[in-house]
Amino acid sequence: MNSFLRKNFIVIIAFAVMAAFLIAAAQGMEKKDFVITLLRGLAVGSITFLVASGFSLIFGLLDVLNLAHGTLFMIGAYIGWTVVVRPDTFVDLLTPLALIASGFALGDVYPLLASRIRLGSSMRRILPWALILVSLLIFWRILPRYPIAIWDVENYGQSPVTFAFMADSGTRLPVLPAAFTEVTMSSALIGLLLASIVIAFGISLFDTSPRTVKLTWKNFIWFAVALIVAIVGVVFNNAMTDYLFGLNSNWLFFVAVVVATLSGVVLGGLMEATLIRPLYSRPIYQLMLTLGMSAIGIEMVRAIWGRPEFVMSKPEFFNGGGEACPATNFADWWANHCSTILFLDGRVRVYNEIFIPLVGLVVLVSIWILLQRTRLGMIIRAGVQDREMVEALGINIRRVFTMVFALGVGLAALGGVLAAPSSGLSNAMGESLFLNALIALAIGGLTNYPGAALGSVIVGMIQQFIIKYGQIGIPIPFTDIVFKPTPPLVPASTVMLMVIILLILPNGLLGKKE
């Protein structure tokens, strides 16, 4: 015990100082303000945690600093919004996207195919590029003609802002279904499938190491899944659209969360397998690539959803109003689903300040269980320390890399879709949150999983307390002056805290010394 105290002396002091600050903060404000600010800090911290934990998992195992993580968070939000407000667009997109992904799902089959082809060395060099070019041409022919019902960014009356506004006020703008007119359905579907297989095969040719592949039905599962999704998407297009339009907002929100998270997972997996993987020996290029991806991501979001900010309505479950609201206790809330609960005379927003932290907690615990109790988690923990040795044990660490990247991006996308109803959607939502996440990780310890949670909560709390003090002011002792922190102090304060902590503890609060 004594040695434990000595070893963790500085960390303990750091916690004591922070506790002292919290107590000091509690003295300066009313109890209800204190509790609500604490909950808000927890809410911001939870969203930050979802981004930070994914980022840190990826960095810990792959040594990749994914600078696109904030952008992927934002994309999660926009995808979620699309499912809630324009389910028809989402259903129309299902088939082409599944087809584009389907070729990549056959990744294990290509080496076998490649080993059958005997070519001269110059042909070997040209072939992948030729295949990629051909498939890009096919995509370029088909995709712009593929019928997708979508909003119109240029036309205000049909823009996402208007759709969002109408949805928030409980009505829907009428939408026009899209139909195959410029291409026939069969040529579009077959063309996309072929192009996807060709491009995935082309990319796989860059990896020339011979492999022993024993093909089993397992290698075809994901391909089959993608095909089934594509076929269901096109055959039951209208039925699915009608079904989603008919869902109540809770279920629709649930579908949106699942779809956004899965999209993040697929996007992350594809990103690792195609763009990140060839560059493991060139970390600087990898860094530049993720930075470029981030910029491209933001531009794509601007092109598709437009620049103006808009909102995503909260599901009914958390959005009740009327006579009985705000609720005064939990049973009362359960009966009316009020958007707020009265607590110590303050209003606690149920979605923001209770639901989001709960989801954060569930994710925290699930990932913890994944890391500590499963074989995959064991491999991840071992790989963080010594990738080579894990591979030398006969474990395909590449595949684990892809999974972890997919998981990390999935968590960011989950954060995005959860944040959308509370903070709205904007092109900039990713950047500020990503900065928060980086600061949280620096404070908590870059690759330390509990550290990511702790750092995120600290960052969230500090920001919310400073915002609150900006409203009520801090009376400076022994003077009449009331100091009101201005909004720019909010990010500045967390950066300052990070600097102080890093000066004292270069590895963050919970980071290990290397």
Partner 1 sequence: MEYILDVQNIQTFIGQYHILQGVNVRVPKGSIVALLGRNGAGKTTTLKSIIGLTAPREGKVIFNGQEVNGMRSFDISSMGIGFVPEHRAIFRDLSVEENLKIAERKKGDYLRKKDFIFELFPDLKRLISLPGTSLSGGQQQMLAIARALVPDNQLLLIDEPSEGLAPVIIESMMAAIRELAKESTVVLVEQNFLVASKLAEYYVIIEEGRSVQDGNMKDLVADKAAIHRYLGAA
Other CB atoms within 10 Å distance of the CB of residue 344: 12
* Least distance to partner 1, CB of residue 409, Å: 24
Give the whole-angstrom CA distance, residue 419 versus residue 492.
Answer: 22
* Least distance to partner 1, CB of residue 379, Å: 6
Rounded to 5 degrees, φ, ψ at 351 are -65, -55
* Least distance to partner 1, CB of residue 394, Å: 4
3-class SS of residue 269? helix
- What residue ranges bind partner 1 (CB under 8 A)? 209-212, 375, 378-379, 381-382, 384-386, 388-398
Q: If you write DSSP's letter for every residue of 400-414 in order, what string do you get?
A: HHHHHHHHHHHHHHH
* Least distance to partner 1, CB of residue 219, Å: 15
Q: Which is nearer to partner 1, 116 or 375 (CB)?
A: 375
Q: Which is nearer to partner 1, 378 or 500 (CB)?
A: 378
Q: Which is nearer to partner 1, 7 or 302 (CB)?
A: 7
Structure tokens at 150: 């979508």
Q: Which is nearer to partner 1, 328 or 396 (CB)?
A: 396
* Least distance to partner 1, CB of residue 398, Å: 8
Q: Which is nearer to partner 1, 347 or 381 (CB)?
A: 381
Q: Which is nearer to partner 1, 57 or 497 (CB)?
A: 57
Rounded to 5 degrees, φ, ψ at 172 are -125, 140
Q: Which is nearer to partner 1, 12 or 389 (CB)?
A: 389
* Least distance to partner 1, CB of residue 401, Å: 12
Contacts of 268 (CB under 8 A, 6+ apart): 72, 405, 406, 407, 408, 409, 410
Percentages of the chain per state (helix, strand, coil), in multiples of 5: 75, 5, 25
* Least distance to partner 1, CB of residue 381, Å: 5
Give the whole-angstrom CA distance, residue 147 versus residue 94.
Answer: 12
* Least distance to partner 1, CB of residue 452, Å: 16
DSSP H or E run through 218: none
Q: How far is CA 249 from CA 168, 314, 411, 510, in A?
A: 11, 8, 23, 41
DSSP H helical ranges for 169-279: 185-204, 221-235, 237-246, 249-271
- Radius of gyration (Cα) for the chain, nearest Å? 25
